[in-house]
């Protein structure tokens, strides 16, 4: 809920806007258009909504501030009040040498050879879901597919047996589409309660799953404590579900609206990796926040030590000064995934980036290979939401199931 606040003296009047990131104007119809309205103004604005904070509103400013881990801290996770204190994510909420020490084992655990080895699992989860959907001729893509795929992959990563999985389904829904029935505290508690038996087991008897690999890597030459293990596992759970679900939802929405792109990718499967990179650039849904630890001069204004800055990757990836005709999806842009900011910039860049990219590629291969041409269901609305991770909340699709 947006709350109005006094505007601090160091904020010039021409930088003040009223922009509620949890509910930007028009977000239900189009998350991206609701944000890009800010590209018409200065590169850094101060919104009076949500307690008052800066928003980087131009591509070069978003990127420069995101890369500046010296002067901007990740510790607080502050736009959602209390979230950072409750979650205490490792490594997301760490800075400097401490962050480096914890990030290293997580990076090793998610190294590309393990990601490649996971492809058959992703394939079988996707195929199983599609088999159930195909004869129906229609689905609510978010609930029926986008939310389920990453959850099952995550559970495979930590080697949770299939019969234990339904318990996380409700939690998964609260993570991707919170309906207010669970507070942040309750959500954290439920995630910890669910994960803890598995973490304990992996700490005691490491297997060859992701958690075991990470937890058996020392941190600065010593073992992980139980508290640190919980905070890291929580970070992986909260970092790798709604983000992937949101991305897959946006990719499916694009294809439903662009049958030519569906046809092209069905005919030329070799284009899929480039298409995945371009779709991930075009539909970024994550924004992060930082607290300045010292004064930062940028775009003609001063961010004061302690100020909160919000960094939406959508305002980098869809800034025409950063990408030519950025709204257009062009599979031949020849981008490297680090040119866009969908997965972040610099020392905190997503440790799951390789896994997420693989999930999008596998989704494209499997869905386009196994399902007939699909469109949006006539007469039913697509809906989106804002927040730290924007997403489709409703994506009704139809196809001809007689073909």
**What distance in Å separates the CA atoms of residue 399 and residue 5, rounded to the nearest whole number?**
49
Q: Considering beta carbons, is residue 131 or 220 the nearer one to ligand HEM?
A: 220
The number of residues that bind ligand HEM (CB under 6 A) is 23
CB 293 → ligand HEM: shortest distance, Å? 15
Question: Could you tell me if residue 278 is left (phi over 0), alpha (psi between -120 and 50 degrees) or otherwise beta?
Answer: alpha
Q: Is residue 118 near ligand HEM by the rule CB under 6 A?
A: no
Q: Considering beta carbons, is residue 151 or 368 the nearer one to ligand HEM?
A: 151
Residue nearest to ligand HEM (CB): 352
Count CA within 13 A, CB hemisphere, residue 354. 15
Q: Considering beta carbons, is residue 250 or 377 the nearer one to ligand HEM?
A: 250
Q: Of 274, 289, 256, whose CA–CA distance to 332 is shortest?
A: 274
CB 102 → ligand HEM: shortest distance, Å? 8
Q: Is residue 103 near ligand HEM by the rule CB under 6 A?
A: yes
Q: How far is CA 271 from CA 261, 288, 325, in A?
A: 11, 31, 20
Which residue in 11, 298, 351, 392 binds ligand HEM (CB under 6 A)? 351
Burial class (CB in 10 A: 0-12, 13-18, 19+), 179: exposed
Give the E-state strand segments of 7-84 in sequence order. 16-17, 44-47, 53-56, 72-73
Which residue in 253, 265, 356, 395 binds ligand HEM (CB under 6 A)? 356
Q: Is residue 176 near ligand HEM by the rule CB under 6 A?
A: no
Cα maximum dimension of the chain? 66
> Which range touches ligand HEM (CB under 6 A), out of 45-53, 169-177, 219-227, 352-360?
352-360
CB 344 → ligand HEM: shortest distance, Å? 3
Q: Is residue 231 near ligand HEM by the rule CB under 6 A?
A: no
Q: Is residue 92 near ligand HEM by the rule CB under 6 A?
A: yes
> Which range touches ligand HEM (CB under 6 A), out of 130-138, 139-147, 232-240, 268-276?
232-240
**What distance in Å separates the CA atoms of residue 361 and residue 1, rounded to the nearest whole number?**
36
Cα radius of gyration rounded to whole Å, the chain: 21
Count CA within 13 A, CB hemisphere, residue 110. 17
Residues that bind ligand HEM (CB under 6 A): 74, 91-92, 103, 106, 235-236, 239-240, 243-244, 247, 286, 288, 342-344, 348, 350-352, 355-356
């Amino acid at each position: 809920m947006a709350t109005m606040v006094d505007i601090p003296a160091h904020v010039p009047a021409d930088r003040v806007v009223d922009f509620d990131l949890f509910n930007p104007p028009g977000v239900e119809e189009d998350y991206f258009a609701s944000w890009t309205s800010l590209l018409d103004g200065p590169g850094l604005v101060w919104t009076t909504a949500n307690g008052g904070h800066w928003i980087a509103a131009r591509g070069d400013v978003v990127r420069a501030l995101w890369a500046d881990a010296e002067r901007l801290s990740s510790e607080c996770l502050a736009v959602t009040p209390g979230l950072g204190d409750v979650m205490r994510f490792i490594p997301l909420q760490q800075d400097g040498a401490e962050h480096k020490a914890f990030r290293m084992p997580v990076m090793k655990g998610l190294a590309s050879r393990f990601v490649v080895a996971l492809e058959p699992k992703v394939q079988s989860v996707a195929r199983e879901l599609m088999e159930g959907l195909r004869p129906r001729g229609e689905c609510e893509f978010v609930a029926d597919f986008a939310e389920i795929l990453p959850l099952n992959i995550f559970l495979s990563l930590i080697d949770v047996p299939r019969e234990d999985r339904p318990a996380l389904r409700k939690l998964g829904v609260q993570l991707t589409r919170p309906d207010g029935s669970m507070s942040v505290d309750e959500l954290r508690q439920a995630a910890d309660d669910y994960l803890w038996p598995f973490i304990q087991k992996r700490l005691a008897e490491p297997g060859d799953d992701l958690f075991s690999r990470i937890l058996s890597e020392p941190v600065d030459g010593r073992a992980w404590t139980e508290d640190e293990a919980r905070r890291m596992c929580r970070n992986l759970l909260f970092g790798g579900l709604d983000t992937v679900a949101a991305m897959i939802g946006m990719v499916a929405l694009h294809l439903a609206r662009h049958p030519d792109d569906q046809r092209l990718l069905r005919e030329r499967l070799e284009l899929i990796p480039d298409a995945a990179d371009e779709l991930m650039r075009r539909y970024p849904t994550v924004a992060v926040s930082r607290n300045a630890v010292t004064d930062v001069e940028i775009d003609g204004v001063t961010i004061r030590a302690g100020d909160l800055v919000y960094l939406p990757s959508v305002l980098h990836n869809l800034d025409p000064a950063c990408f030519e005709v950025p709204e257009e999806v062009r599979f031949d842009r020849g981008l490297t995934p680090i040119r866009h900011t969908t997965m972040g910039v610099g020392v905190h860049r997503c440790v799951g980036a390789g896994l997420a990219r693989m999930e999008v590629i596998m989704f494209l291969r499997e869905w386009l290979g196994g399902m007939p041409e699909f469109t949006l269901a006539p007469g039913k609305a697509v809906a989106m939401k804002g927040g730290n991770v924007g997403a489709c909340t409703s994506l009704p699709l139809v196809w001809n199931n007689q073909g």
